[in-house]
Amino acid sequence: MTQTTPAHHEGATTPPATGHATRRDPRFDAVVRAAVGQGLLGEGGQVAGFIDTEGVRASVGALHDAFSAAPEVLHTFAAKACSLIPVLRLPDRGMGCEVASPGELRLALEAGFAASRVVLDSPAKTREEIRLALALGVSVNADSLDELRRIDALRHPGTASVVGVRINPQVGGGSIGAMSTATGTSKFGVALRDPGAREAIVRAFRDRPWLTRLHAHVGSQGCPLELMAAGVARTYELAEEINATLGVRQVTSLDIGGGLPVNFADETVRPTYPDYVAALTAAVPGLLSGRYGLITEFGRSLLAKNGFIGARVEYVKDAGGRRIALTHAGAQTATRTVFMPDAWPLRIGAFGADGTPRTGPVLPQDIAGPCCFAGDVVAYGRELPELAEEDVVILYDTGAYYFSTPWAYNSLPRPAVYGFRAGKGGAVTFATVRDAQSMESIAAESGLAHVDALMERDG
């Protein structure tokens, strides 16, 4: 941990909110001031990500409490939501880890997760990935019947891996098409309502006594709870049908995925885990009875509101009557928001160069990033107190899928990431999660070791 800075409580009122724009999150005010005071934000730290460690733990606790009525649940942390080893280590209480690539599997193991508590999901697993997972004892959810046939050839009888099949219950999409995984033509899982698919799944279980799990992941941002619960209900019904047809309790667990949406409009958490459990119980009354072991795969809902991006304002300009603040937080670290601003709007906080909240009259301002294309804007026309050079802007609700997985456009460096917590007396303490990427690292990743590979040589 670095040195601590006493927390500062700003007495000024928050300016009126417009849409997602001006409602800053006051619980982070002291953290921003401390980050500026310690040099993590400012001239020496133009952009950085921050994770509330106690907030993450509290979210994990809320998840466990909501499902406490179920006698057997493995809650797994979706590695893709924040693929940083120190963050993956944060959730305790027996959490597992859901991974979707060889890289994420490596991160999960390095973070200390037992292989038996790791679940591998991916629509394009290679034979080598499957072979490794089965050798380690990692659970595998086959995304297709063809993948099951690969597993037939690679699986050895002594493996400890639990193997399941992912289905697409085809219950429909939410408000963001690109995030909807249970549409009629989704790339994920076996399309349950396609002609002959249901019968083929039953046969797959009949032919493989070691196949014991069904998996479905319906939810994601923009999906209502009722849609998510409907997908789980279809999965539960299929498990009952398989077991009844085979005359034996072969399906013993259901992986119901994650995907609880996050409220980006203000600082409140909604929907909550208890809201989701209530929807599940209404749709599938027996789900929490213990008839099936349950696995969940939450990520965004555990992390989004427990993190933020801070960025320095480098310049302010006017163009065509529009005020533009040019910052170091753009598409390279807020990729989804830049390319889908209506689907992923972010609240913006305005802070002075000393890290205290900006106050005073508000005016519409664009918050633009450093990438060299015109669309690199994270917020358009947001009504904020007037920003100036060397001020700091905060992008709230970015603890998942933002600074942890940056885009390397313009060879911009990956930002530093810090965990923080408030200690006794309100002091804020930081710990480095990931160092800012160096110019040497950028050059190395860009082929420096092969600098002469394409040069013509005589002879």
Strand ranges (E), 133-283: 139-142, 163-168, 190-191, 211-215, 253-255
The CATH number of whichever domain residue 111 belongs to comes to: 3.20.20.10
Spatial CB neighbours of 346, under 8 Å, sequence gap ≥ 6: 20, 264, 334, 337, 378, 379, 395, 396, 397, 398
What pLDDT does residue 208 have? 97
- Provide the sign of the torsion angle of the four alpha carbons 373, 379, 381, 382, taken in this order: negative
* pLDDT value of residue 313: 98
Q: How many CB atoms lie within 10 A of CB 138?
A: 27
Give the chain's length. Answer: 459
Examine the domain organization and report whether 114 and 190 are in the same domain.
yes
Helix axes 145-154, 197-207, angle to 10 degrees: 10
**47 and 116 inside one domain:** no
Residue that is last in its domain, among 250, 270, 300: 300
Q: Does residue 366 contact residue 357 with C-beta atoms inside 8 Å? A: no
Would you give the DSSP letter of residue 414? P
pLDDT at res. 93: 72
In this prediction, residue 350 carries a pLDDT of 97
pLDDT in tens, the chain (459 residues): 443 433 333 333 333 333 344 566 788 999 999 999 999 999 989 999 999 999 999 999 999 999 999 999 999 999 999 999 999 998 777 899 999 999 999 999 999 999 999 999 999 999 999 999 999 999 999 999 999 999 999 999 999 999 999 998 877 655 556 555 656 666 678 988 889 999 999 999 999 999 999 999 887 776 789 988 999 999 999 999 999 999 999 999 999 999 899 998 999 999 999 999 999 999 999 999 999 999 999 999 999 999 999 999 999 999 999 999 999 999 999 999 999 998 889 999 999 999 999 999 999 999 999 999 999 999 999 999 999 999 999 999 999 999 999 999 999 999 999 999 987 777 999 999 999 999 999 999 999 999 999 998 765
| 39 and 110 assigned to the same domain | no
Same domain for 223 and 204: yes
Q: The tokens 């997602």 sit on which residue? A: 20
CA distance 126 to 133: 11
* Site of tokens 């009126």: 16
Q: CA-to-CA distance for 310 and 49, rounded, in angstroms?
A: 6
Tell whether 74 is covered by a domain: yes
Count CB-CB contacts under 10 A for residue 133.
Answer: 26
Residue 155 domain flag: yes
Spatial distance between the Cα atoms of 403 and 307, rounded to a whole number of angstroms = 9
Tokens of 240: 């009952």
pTM equals: 0.90
Residue 82 is assigned to a structural domain of this protein: yes
Q: Half-sphere exposure of 260 toward its Cβ, with a 13 Å CA cutoff?
A: 26
| End residue of a domain, out of 261, 281, 300 | 300
In sign, the C-alpha dihedral spanning 105, 149, 134, 162 is positive
Q: Are 457 and 28 in contact (CB under 8 A)?
A: no
Domain boundary (273, 300, 327) is at 300
β-pair type (163-168, 139-142): parallel
Q: Is residue 8 part of a domain?
A: no
Whether residue 131 is found in the same domain as residue 105: yes
Q: Within this chain, do residues 43 and 68 fall inside the same structural domain, yes or no? A: no
User: In total, how many domains does the chain have?
Assistant: 2
**Alpha carbon separation from 380 to 57, 197, 384 (Å, rounded):** 34, 46, 11
Say if residue 334 is in the same domain as residue 352: yes
CB hemisphere CA count around 329 (13 angstroms): 33
Element at 366 (helix H, strand E): strand 362-368
Same domain for 117 and 38? Answer: no
One domain for residues 315 and 361: yes
CA count, 13 A, side-chain hemisphere, 244: 6
Angle, vertex CA 392, rays to CA 387 and CA 394, nearest 5: 105
* pLDDT value at residue 188: 74
Which pLDDT score is estimated for 2? 42
Q: Are 383 and 322 in contact (CB under 8 A)?
A: no
The tokens describing 346, both together, are: 């972010």
pLDDT of residue 364: 97
In a domain, 333, yes or no: yes
Three-state SS at 126: coil
In a domain, 368, yes or no: yes
Note whether residue 249 is domain-resident.
yes
Residues 295 and 319 in one domain: no
pLDDT confidence of residue 175: 56
Q: Tell me if 453 is assigned to some domain.
A: no
- For the domain that residue 396 is a member of, what is the CATH number? 2.40.37.10
Looking at residue 8, what is its pLDDT? 33
What is the rounded distance in angstroms from the CA atom of residue 429 to the CA atom of residue 399? 18
Same domain membership, residue 34 and residue 77: no
User: Terminal CA-to-CA distance of the chain, rounded, Å?
Assistant: 57
User: Distance (Å, rounded) from C-alpha 20 to C-alpha 263?
Assistant: 10
For residue 324, what are the domain limits?
A: 26-52+305-442
Gap between the Cα atoms of 279 and 225, Å rounded: 6
Same domain as 82, residue 42: no
